[in-house]
Chains A and B, each alone.
Chain A
Amino acid sequence: MSADEMEPRPMSPRPAKVTVRFDQQQRKLLDFLRAEKKFGTQDGEIIRNVVLDYIKQQQKQGK
């Protein structure tokens, strides 16, 4: 996607809800993480916490 095709970066509060499609195998990984009890209990909560942890790891590595 070229830069002029991209949506403008949101500068003010906007609904920050993202719907993500997972298949049954991908959801098994969520079950594994749920069992760890570190990332939450609900699917959406686990995905959110994992995504934020990844961004944090990247920032720590200076990426």
Chain B
Amino acid sequence: MKTPKPGKRRLELTLQPVSGKALPVYRGEILRITQLEAGQCVDFNCFNLDDHKEYMSVGHMRREAFHPGAGHFIWSNPPRYRPMMRILTMPPTCVADTLAARCSAVIFESHFGIDDHPNCQDTLAEAIGEYGLTPDDVHDSLNLWMNTEIDHIGYYTVWNSGKAGDFVDLMAIMNVLAVPATCGSGDIWVTSSFCYKPIKVEIFEATAQTKAMAEKEWKANASLKSQRVPKDFLNPTIRTDPELRPDPNYKPRFVNFPIEWKDIEVVFTNEEFMKIWNYRGTLGDTDEEVVRTLFFHWYLDNRKKHGVRLYTPQQAHA
């Protein structure tokens, strides 16, 4: 597949940690998501802009690849099951995960005893609220820059390999509402290497080349009889207006936004510091990264609770 050149940039914004934005991207346009620093996991949701009951199905993408890359489609949910976007560019340092669903408040309460931790379910819900969608409309994310690996018990996540300047280009095959969000799990999970970072989002206008390419992809991949739309349904009535319109007065309320940072000085003896130094290059490139990672590895090994259990923070840490 020859990568087309993007058109004129019509939008550029920075997504701060634990925030997201719902963005219309029209057929032939290119959405670009860029690492401003390094190693920030990005959760991604996608709706048909003209019919919100059609949305991305990560489960069906997983049928093609556990880690989709350049050339793969973002597919919609059956019975539509149509190509929504095409991944044009994805660097090797971006592992795109289809296994981990999305983080939610329940995970953080059950594992850590924190009941108000930022999470992708709530961040995505706040972002799509601008278009009148509800938390129930959030679906499993395509997790960009999330290094899941698979072993004999399922999957696990390792240090994020994203580099500053990495970008992913997604071309719209249909008109979509694209929703990138900075992952909320990254500060106390290895997903984003235990530290939140901002990301950049851009949209480039369609060109004659990208329009033709999107049209061709649509005809080739969205013409099956079994790709049913509401007119084919026994009950075609969708209970809510399928057209998505923004509410100009909408104000999202992202959980714990903006993040409040605190610099903490940690003092080691020279002998202790020598031991920490040994982890340079494997658990981080700087003293700060190594110390923070060691701390959270300890926490995950010694205090993280497994499974969904309900308890108070006092019980969790008793």
Residues of A bordering B, CB below 8 Å? 1, 3, 6, 9-10, 13-14, 16-29, 32-33, 35-36, 43-44, 47-48, 50-55, 57
Chain B interface helix/strand/loop/mixed? mixed
Please state if A54 and B260 are interface contacts (CB–CB under 8 Å).
no
Query: Residues 295-318 of chain B: 1 if any A CB is under 8 Å from the residue's CB, otherwise 0?
Result: 101110101000000000100110
* Complex Cα–Cα for A14 and B267 (A): 11
Cβ-defined partner of B269 (8 Å) among A16, A19, A51, A53? A16
* Complex Cα–Cα for A27 and B276 (A): 21
Please state if A10 and B317 are interface contacts (CB–CB under 8 Å).
no
Interface membership of B265, Cβ < 8 A: yes
Tell me which residues across on chain B come within 8 A of A22, comparing CB atoms: 261-262, 264, 292
CB pairs A–B below 8 angstroms (10 shown): A10-B270, A17-B266, A18-B265, A19-B263, A21-B262, A25-B117, A29-B303, A35-B317, A48-B266, A50-B294
* Complex Cα–Cα for A5 and B139 (A): 42
Tell me which residues across on chain B come within 8 A of A1, comparing CB atoms: 281, 285
Chain A interface helix/strand/loop/mixed? helix
Residues of B bordering A, CB below 8 Å? 112-114, 117-118, 187-188, 194-196, 256, 259-270, 272-277, 280-281, 285, 287-288, 291-292, 294-295, 297-299, 301, 303, 313, 316-317
A10-B273, A25-B117, A26-B188 are known contacts. Are A44 and B295 too (CB-CB below 8 A)?
no
Tell me which residues across on chain B come within 8 A of A25, comparing CB atoms: 114, 117-118, 187-188, 256
* Complex Cα–Cα for A13 and B273 (A): 10
* Complex Cα–Cα for A50 and B273 (A): 14
Please state if A19 and B298 are interface contacts (CB–CB under 8 Å).
no
Cβ-defined partner of A23 (8 Å) among B187, B267, B285? B187
Closest residue on chain A to residue B269 by CB atoms: A16
* Complex Cα–Cα for A4 and B5 (A): 37
Tell me which residues across on chain B come within 8 A of A33, comparing CB atoms: 303, 317
Tell me which residues across on chain A come within 8 A of B194, comparing CB atoms: 26
A17-B267, A19-B264, A23-B196 are known contacts. Are A47 and B272 too (CB-CB below 8 A)?
no
* Complex Cα–Cα for A54 and B248 (A): 50
Q: Tell me which of A22, A25, A35 has the highest count of chain B C-beta atoms within 10 A of its own C-beta.
A: A25
Please give the distance in Å from A2's CB to the nearest CB on chain B.
Answer: 9
Q: Tell me which of A20, A36, A48, A53 has the highest count of chain B C-beta atoms within 10 A of its own C-beta.
A: A20
* Complex Cα–Cα for A16 and B167 (A): 36
Tell me which residues across on chain A come within 8 A of B266, comparing CB atoms: 17-20, 44, 47-48, 51
Please state if B262 and A54 are interface contacts (CB–CB under 8 Å).
no
* Complex Cα–Cα for A50 and B117 (A): 22
* Complex Cα–Cα for A1 and B290 (A): 14
A9-B277, A25-B187, A51-B298 are known contacts. Are A44 and B113 too (CB-CB below 8 A)?
no
Tell me which residues across on chain B come within 8 A of A26, comparing CB atoms: 187-188, 194
Cβ-defined partner of B274 (8 Å) among A6, A10, A20? A10
* Complex Cα–Cα for A23 and B260 (A): 5
* Complex Cα–Cα for A48 and B264 (A): 11
Please give the distance in Å from B217's CB to the nearest CB on chain A.
Answer: 40
* Complex Cα–Cα for A36 and B113 (A): 14
Please state if B260 and A19 are interface contacts (CB–CB under 8 Å).
no
* Complex Cα–Cα for A63 and B277 (A): 15
